[in-house]
Structure formats: C-alpha cells, structure tokens
Structure 1
Amino acid sequence: MRNKLFSLSFVMALSLSTALTGCGSNNNNNTGAAATEQPVATTAPETATNAPAEATKEPAAGGADISGKITFLTNRTDMIGKEYDEYLKRFNEKYPNIEVELEASQTDYNQQSKVRMASGELPDIMFIPTIPNSDLPKYFAELDDLGLNDQITFKDFKSFEGKLYGITTGNSTSGIVYNKKAFADAGITEVPKTWDDFLAACEKLKANGVIPLASNFKDKWPLNDWVYAVPRIIEGKADFPNDKLGSDTPFTMDNGYGKSFSLLRELNEKGYLEKDINSTNWEQSKKDIASGKFAMYFLGNWVINQITGAGTTSDNVGFFPLPYDNSGTPVAPLSPDFFYAVAKDSKHVDAAKAFVKWMIEESGYEDFAGFISPLKGKESTLPQLKEFQSTGVVLQEGTVDNATVTEISNKAQLDLPAVLQEFVLAKDPQTVFDKWNKAWAKAKKDLGH
C-alpha cells in the first residue's frame, strides 16, 4: 500500500471519519497495532483442524434462522454489565436465537490471545493479536461474505492472499488530549502549535502545580504512539519502519526513532511527566486528567470518552495535534484499532459472523469508544474531533509493515515501547540504540536477510 497523506477534512469528506479507538479498564490498548512492528509470531497449534468453516447464511427477516451459543473474548471489561448488556439486548431483537456469552480478558489481551491460539481453544469471536497475516487462515474464518468489503476502512490490514480475516473495531488518530480548565488556570490561551510552544505551556502548567503530561510510563502500552506513530510522522513516511530492512543500524539519534524518543526524554528531564514514572497508574491517571491534577495525555482520541467518564464534562476536554517540531504544520497518524475475527473452527461460524457484522453496522460502539468509524461515510459525534480538524491537521494513513520486519523483530526480541523506556532512563541513550542495533543486525543475519 502506498503512503497517503490526507487532510482531516478530506478524510471526513471521503468518509474515513468518525470516532476513535479505545482500551479497556485492564490496560489492553492496541491503538495502531495493525500498523506497527510489535509482533511475536505464533505458529498454528497441532490441534487445529483444517475443516471448512460452516457457511454463513444470509439472515431471514429478524435473523431468526441463525442460532447458536457463541463466546466473545473482549478487552473492554469496563463495558460488561453496562453497554454490552444493552448491545446484546438490541442484537437479540434481530437475532433472537443467538446467545452471546462475554468473556473478559483480565490480563494482557495480546498475550492471552496467543496462549489461546497455541492451545487451540479459541473463543468464537476475538480480536486478532499481533501475528503475521500469513497465519490468519490457520485460525480465522474468511469475512468476505459479510458484504462489507467496499464499506470498511483498512481492509488490507488483516487480509491474506486476497481474503479478508479481520475488520477493525474503529480507527483513531493520536494527539494531545487536555483539560481546558487546567490550561486556562495556567494562563495558556492558545493550544501550542510548535514544540517550543508546547514546552512553554508545560512550564506554565508545572509552575501552577499541575503535572503537564501523564505518560503512564510504567504500563508501557501508553508509550505506543511515541514508538509507532511519531517516528513515521517525523520521517514523513507511513512505511518508515520498513526502512530497517536495508540497515544494520536502524536506530539512530537523527532519524525518526531517535528524534521521537528524544522528545519524551526531554519532557522527563524537564520534570513535565509524573514525579515517579516507574510507578504510574492508568486508571488513576484518567481521574487525575479529569480533575486537572494532570493536564494532558498524548494518546488516541479513544481516551476522550474515558476521561469524561472519570469525572469531568465533555466541554472541559480538548484535543489538538502533538507539535513534534517547530514547523507549525500539524501531522497526525490515522490507525486502526483491534480487529474483529471469527474462529475458523467455531461450531457456529454463521452466528459469530452475524454478531461481528451487527457490531460494525448497528451497535454504535465506535461512538461510545470515541473511534472514527470503521465504515466509510459515518461521521463522528465527538466535538473534540472538530477542534482537532480546525488546526488544519494532515492525517497520515498507516500501512502494513513488511512481514520480514516482523520476522526479524521477533528474532531480535525487539519490543519498541520497552526500548523507549530504556532510552528515556539511560544515562547515555546512544548505548541503548547500540544494544538494539546489534540485536537487530544479528537477527537479520541469522535469518539470512
């Protein structure tokens, strides 16, 4: 897929629009995962069968001809007993003979999913973990028969040999989500448009007794945008991670990785992050942003609704692009979130597919989660996206990483958020890059690349 830059207004016009991606209360965010190089390859379990999946039947009026009990493994533990109950009630009005059982992921979703895949005990519906697309047919049923191929965004991300295996739950962009009152109380009258402006705003917030940016450093996953999105934007190349294939030293201080990582390091050195970044708490941070104890997140717009749910009003939460340099020209990523998939060996593939299609078309989940809709043509209900748009931001559409990048990264045990943690805390950050350049070069050589 070639790189694309879209103005946000153009994205809206083309209907890649509406609300953003979300993580559950158990910290299992995967924003932009499909566009990242954060994989651990999983081989098919020996117990997996190659029997053809049950054919999907076109539902009769009301879907009464489709039946079965299916399980959906979700990371959104915060929605169980709440929004999911309302979804299932509405779903059963259309499909009265399908029983959906929700299974909550209480640990790292990506890792838990891989364990389930290795054991051959998959739920009927799940989100696709970070595995090579070539492995998708081993585990999941084709979704081309849902009639959504011409309507969905990021169709190629979870496809293999022309077959669709996953559909994004929603799309997101990343930026600075901020508490407007905290800004006003610190005397900040305009959102920062350059990195120097951003640092000046952080200094005003700090002087006013507010922690400028909640990094949630310890939890690691909130650092994803710094390692997967910002380097691509700085380089002006959505497929920048693939440049690693032509180098034995992909991590340098003057390329996208070094420049992006140095931004967070600078914020930490200036005292603009949490006082003890090794003991951060995700759930508490949402309450602290809502109360104004913390002023900002750098995350996807999926988090906006979670902040308003943590104790403030929507009109107190704003959203603007991260001004990562002094050019004054804002660019932000457009990325898919988790991808729905149906287990290939489900006993009720047709029922599972009906639920996935209903979630995409009718549930309204994307608005609740604060996503840009996976469907072309649905507009966001989030006023914060209108503020974001007013900056003239350009959106860089994510691309699929080369499978060889994934292979080498796995071999080198390369975990970019963990590398960033090392980089920020190191006495000499160059030594961190030296270490991982060596690991990359060795893995590349060992694999014959």
Structure 2
Amino acid sequence: MKKIFGTLTCVVMSLMVLAACGGESTTGSSNSSNALTLYSGVSEDAEKDAIEGLAAAFEEETGISIDVNFPGTGYEDQLRVRMASNDLPDLFDTHGWAINRYGEYVADLSDMEWVEHFDPAMEPILKDEDGKIYAYPINQAKDGIMYNAPLLDEYGIELPTTVDEWIDAMETVKEKSGGEVTPLWIPGSNQYTIAQVLDQLSTPLLVTADEHNYEEALLDGSFDWSNYTPLPEFLKDLQDRGLINKDVLTASEAQRIELMAQNKVAFVFAGGAFGPAVTELNPDIQVGTIPVPAFWEGAEQSWIGGERNTFAAFKDSENLDEAKQFIEFIAQPENAKKLAEATSLPAGITNVEAENYYTEFYDEWAHVQIQPYFDRVYLPSGMWDVYATTGQELLSDLKTPEQVSEEMESEYLRLRSQ
C-alpha cells in the first residue's frame, strides 16, 4: 500500500511540474483545451481538406493546435449566437460580412506582413477609410452559372447571354436528352442553395439594366417590392416547365457532383471547387462557367463577386497573437496558393499565382464587369435567410410569387429598422 501511495505521489508531483512548465510557453500548446478555435463556411471537401492540412502543418511548425470546425448550413446561426455573447472563435470566416456584420468583433490586421500584397480589388470590402483591415482574403469570388461543357457542345447549344437564351438552352437540353438530363439542378435540401440562385439573379433583375435600376430605392428603403416579383415568377416557371430537378427540395449537394460527373446535369450554381471535383470523378467532363445572363433586353451580363472566404481574428480572443500568427502562416505564398487552388478561385493577395480550373472561361469573359453580391450591398443583415425560406416555400407551393415579394418586403423593412 505504501508503495502504491508513493507511486501516486510521484505521478501527481510530476504532473504539477509539467503544468508549471507549460504555463511559461509562449508558442501555444497541442492540448485540445488550449487549441485555437477556427470556424469556416466552406462546404466542398477539397476546401476543407486544404484548411485542415494547413492547420496540421501550422501545429507541426509551431506547436499550436487548431480545432477546425465546418458547421455547414448552421454556420451563420452559430456565429450569431456567439456574437450575442461576445464569444466568437479565435479565427472565423466573415463570408461577405467582414465590415457590416462582424466589424466590431474583429481585430485590425493592417500591421501584418502580408498586407503589402493585399489586392486593391478587395479593399472596398475588407478595408475601411481609417485603414483598418478586417480579414485576410483566402480567395476572390467570381460567380456565374456553371455548365457541362461537352454536353452543351454535343447538343449544339450556344452559351446564353440573356435569361431568354438560357431558358431556350434548358429547353433544348430537356428535348435532346429525352428528359434524361436535368437542365438546372438545385440541391434545395440546403435552403441556402436556393438563396444563392435568387441572390445572383437579383442583380440583373434590379441593378444592371438602366431602365430597371433600383439601387437608390433599395438603399434608402423606398423600394417597391412588386419589382422583385418577376424573379420568383421566373424560378416557379422553370419548375412548372420541368427544367429543374423534381427532387429540388430534398436533393443534396453531394448528389450535384455525382450527377454532373454522370452527364445527367447541364447547369448548376456552385462554388469554385465544384468543377475539379466533377472532373476528378469523370475526366471526360469539363465544367465551364459563364457570367450571369442579362434579365432585360439591352442589358449586359455580369459576374457576381467580392469577398468569398476569409479568416478574421476575434479581437477579444485570449489567443489573439497566435490567431494572427496562423493568418501570417496561411498568407505565405506557398500556403496561399494551396488554399486558392483548392477553391479554384483567384487568390486574395497579389504575390500568388494560383492555377485555376476556370482560367480559360474567365479569360473568355474578361470583358464582363464584376458586380458585388446583391444582399451584401442592398439588403439588411438577415435577408439571406429570407431569400432561403421564401425560395423553399415558393418551390413547395406554400407561397405564390406575389406572396414571396410581400414577405421579402416585410422582412426588409423590419430588419432595416433594427
């Protein structure tokens, strides 16, 4: 018994000594309780793998471990809850809201080494007039509509530049495939994929056509939401014509990759990693991308872009120095290149040249202007959820297009007043 007691005493004393020594560390600890917390909104496996790989490399180099989280569709809700208690993760993705939503919670990164290579194109959305930089940009968004390039070639379909041409293209796909290929495939079990469609199409509907430009009214709160009704009418019409997948409300994002690789889908709205994932499954399929078609006659197409994925540091983090150390680590050119290439989007810093899956398509449409995400400029915070819920209700016949517009107006006014 005395021997056991003596052994236990030695163990306890050893642990106390180790704990005391650990308290003097300035580089962090690999223990999970001391790990940096990182939350990201990325959804594709290639993107997740790249972030996890760099987190592991950072730990190996510094001894600082990182607890990496990908909440998926619950990302915004989790971040809102944590904002309310001022308990945000040490590192998190601002997903387009670096200044307007998260501005008061993030540390200023303007004193960091990577800033000398900050892409000026990102300054309007990540840097304020006082010079504060709110987040490190992993990549830059350049969203349009993705398509099955060999399939469109096989059917002799010219790339659409207007919504009417796009409808004709989808009708051709339906006819020539005998209904075997879905013209537009939406994984609506994730309601935010429906929101993505509505958000991207809001720009050509309400901004880029001279005779249908409602920028001023949207910004001052006087917008007449009956002008939005043609968009839910358009989406509902596609469903009624059989141009979108019948299982739109239950279909998943994982299916989207598989079906495109099986040559069963023509058009999708998806992130940059979608194309490489499809081609990896089927090397014969090349995913192309086109700017969003013009909604009104005489208007121009547009890319939808701006901030896509970032890392910001929580200003009240107890591990702020370590969090900024990780940002400096991922901003090293070789690491920044890995992240940009995993997302198949341009890097957010200028000293990185990433090989991009879509380069030939971006070059072909280089003359097309980039417009910011509609909701980030013209709508109050919280409207992304309204896009999503009203879109699902529209496609499940719970709301008419007119009722969708009424709900959008009601929530727009309510959220503006908060």
From 147, 164, 167, give the equivalent of 1:199. 167
CA shift, 1:402, in A, is 8.4
Aligned pairs for 1:48-63 (under 5 A) are none
2:156 aligned partner, one-letter code: I
TM value normalised by structure 2: 0.75
Distance 1:357 1:261, change over 3 A: farther
* Match for residue 352 of structure 1 among 309, 323, 330: 323
1:111 matched to 2:77? The reply is: yes
Summarize deviations over 1:186-221 as a string: whole Å, max 9, x none: x22532333333222212221212111112234221
What SS class does the counterpart of residue 123 from structure 2 fall into?
Answer: coil
Q: Tell me which residue corresponds to 2:282.
A: 312
CA gap 1:184/1:440 in 2 versus in 1, 3 angstroms: closer
Counterpart pick for 2:65 among 96, 99, 104: 99
1:349-377 Cα shifts (integer Å, max 9, x gaps): 22211211222343220111112211136
Q: Secondary structure at the match of 1:143?
A: coil
- The structure with more radius of gyration: 2
Compare the two structures and name the one with the higher helix fraction. Answer: 2
Give deviations 1:112-166, integer Å, cap 9, x for gaps: 1222333444322111367683664643222111134452342342456622222
After superposition, the Cα gap between the structure-2 partners of 1:146 and 1:109, relative to the gap in structure 1 and judged at 3 Å, is same
CA distance in 2, matches of 1:355, 1:286: 32
Amino acid in structure 2 at the alignment position of 1:127: D
Offset at residue 81 of structure 1 (A): 8.8
> Following the alignment from structure 1 to structure 2, what is the Cα–Cα distance between the partners of residues 132 and 375?
17
- Is 2:404 the counterpart of 1:432? yes
* Identical amino acids, percent of aligned pairs: 19
Q: Is 1:406 matched with 2:373? A: no
> Which AA in structure 2 matches 1:83?
A
Superposed CA RMSD:
3.7
Deviates more, 1:207-216 or 1:144-153: 144-153
Indicate how the Cα distance of structure 1 residues 130 and 76 shifts in structure 2: closer, same or farther if over 3 A, else same. closer
Q: Quote the offset at 1:341 in angstroms.
A: 0.9
Question: How far, CA to CA, are the matches of 1:133 and 1:397 in structure 2?
Answer: 18
1:228 aligns with 2:199: yes
1:439 deviates by 4.9
Structure 2 unpaired stretches of 5+: 1-24, 30-34
Whether the 8 Å contact between 2:94 and 2:311 is mirrored in structure 1 is: yes
What is the one-letter code of the residue matched to 1:339?
A: T
Offset at 1:240?
5.6
Q: Superposed, which structure 2 residues align to 1:15-414 within 5 Å?
A: 66-67=27-28, 69-76=35-42, 78=45, 82-88=49-55, 90-91=57-58, 95-105=61-71, 108-128=74-94, 133=99, 136=102, 138-150=104-116, 151-152=118-119, 153-159=121-127, 162=130, 163-185=132-154, 187-207=155-175, 208=177, 209-234=180-205, 235-236=207-208, 243-253=217-227, 257-309=228-280, 311-313=281-283, 316-325=286-295, 327=298, 329-362=300-333, 363=335, 364-376=338-350, 378-391=352-365, 393-398=367-372, 405-406=379-380
Change (3 A) 1:99 1:366: same
* Residues 1:403 and 1:268: Cα distance change in structure 2 (over 3 Å): closer
Name the CA shift for 1:285/1:96 in 2 (closer, same or farther; >3 Å).
same
Name the aligned partner's letter for residue 122 of structure 1: L
For 1:300-346, what per-residue CA distance to the aligned partner results, in whole angstroms no more than 9, with x for missing partners?
Answer: 4343233334x222752222223234548432222211331112232
Deviation of 1:272 (Å): 0.6
Cα offset, 1:276, TM superposition: 2.9
* Structure 2 residue matching 1:279: 3-state secondary structure: coil
Amino acid at match of 1:289: M
